[in-house]
Amino acid sequence: MGKRGTTGLWAAAIGVCIIASIVLPMLWQHSLVDLKVYRLGGSTLLHDPSRLYDVQLAGTVLPFTYPPFAAIVMVPFALLPWPVAAVVWTVGTVLSLVAIWRLSVPLSSALLLAVVAGSLLLEPVRETLGFGQINLMLCALILYDVLDRTHHRRGLWIGVAAGIKLTPLVFLAFLAVTRQWRALAHASAGFLATVVLGFLIAPHASRQYWTSLVSDPTRTGGLAFASNQSWNAFLIRLTGDLDGGGPLWYVLVLLTGLGGLWLCRVLWLRDQRLAAVSICGLIGLLCSPVSWSHHWVWVIPLGVALLQVVAPRWRVLAGLAWFGVFTISPIWWPPDHDNRELGWSAGQQVLGNAYLIAALAVAGVLARSLLRAPVTSGRKLPAA
């Protein structure tokens, strides 16, 4: 690329940064409230570990809902003054966003700057930033652990991520179906170590969490809420049954898990590793009882995987459609809060479940791409 082309790219990247800096403050909400809850967990662990799951953030009804190990991880942030903790956390979140893009696709510095700035406007990303959530950090950690095949103890960080937030446990199944036995052993050992450490530091809270709270999704909030983009929430909003999706949910979870892991395996065999790990992230989002919209940061690697398989003439349109859905976020267009989601019309159901519908469409595109180049019979999977 010539000097003029490079200058044009940098000018475009700076333009994207300017637009993002103007628009993002208009959309910013939540005042890092989840980071405050994380700090509450760390602080409670320091002062009275037995009350870890009894305390609530002052002025709210928000409890600490993560495994005990997550509270251990949050102790340093509890010790920092709030302004310092907020800055460090936000910088770490943005750096994680950079890492996700770098792990997903090779880009020049100018393009990397542009896509990072532009992706700040994606609703899952801006909600993660606004809440002070941990989603981008965990996504980057998992992508690094799966895609970087040069570092030792691959899989260990997946186990650590699962110890902080349980949904990454689905990646242990991913390692199993792709026959990465050593990485699976590391991931299992890492997760078990986080559980043991939790029992050593907070035995009462650990027993409370692993014997009762772990199976109670209602602690995280109203399951019908529009932000919950999972099979469970879809069925709740469709049927009006606030107790959950019932037997049909179990069937959908089973089919999604089996079908999704099959797709992961075949994509991995095809050396479409980003697509494989992204589909696994999607399995976790769909099958979890609660998948808030800010959990959907997997839209970035999943979107890149989509663009890698569509025909060149359709890439711009596909990219605009995919990332556009998560920028304009139609899930917030129908009435929400106070279970008003239970009264949605058919059209509102489509809008209000847009993330789930779009993700299923992309999974279909990735599955269809396999028909054009079937897996070679007898090909072995990497054993690392």
pLDDT at 323 over 70: yes
Closest Cα to residue 175, out of 99, 287, 273?
A: 273
Domain spans of the chain, in order of start: 12-151, 221-384
Tokens of 371: 């028909």
Query: What is the rounded average pLDDT of the residues 287-311?
Result: 96
Q: How confident is the model at residue 383 (pLDDT cuts 50, 70, 90)?
A: very low
Contact 232, 76 (CB under 8 A): no
Q: What is the pLDDT of residue 381?
A: 41
DSSP 133: -
Residue where the block lists tokens 């310092």 = 84
Helix (H) or strand (E) holding 153: none
pTM of the model: 0.94
DSSP string covering 298-332: GHHHHHHHHHHHS-GGGHHHHHHHHHHHHHH-GGG
Residue of 23, 21, 36, 228 lying closest to 132 (CA atoms): 36
- Supply the Cα-derived Rg of the chain in whole angstroms: 21
The reported pLDDT for the residue numbered 28 is 79
Taking each helix axis as running N to C, give the angle between helix 315-328 and helix 354-372, from 0 to 180 degrees, rounded to the nearest 10.
160
Whole-number pLDDT of residue 2: 60
User: How does residue 186 score in pLDDT terms, banded at 50, 70 and 90?
Assistant: very high
* pLDDT band with cut points at 50, 70 and 90 for residue 379: very low
Q: Mean pLDDT of all residues in the chain? A: 93
Each residue's pLDDT tens digit, 240-293:
888 777 899 999 999 999 999 999 999 999 999 999 999 999 999 999 999 999
H-assigned helices in the chain: 3-27, 33-47, 68-73, 75-79, 82-104, 109-119, 123-131, 135-147, 156-164, 170-177, 181-201, 203-211, 231-239, 246-269, 273-287, 299-309, 315-328, 346-352, 354-372
% of the chain surpassing 70 pLDDT: 95
Mean pLDDT score, 155-173: 97
Q: Is 202 helix (H, G, I), strand (E, B) or coil?
A: coil
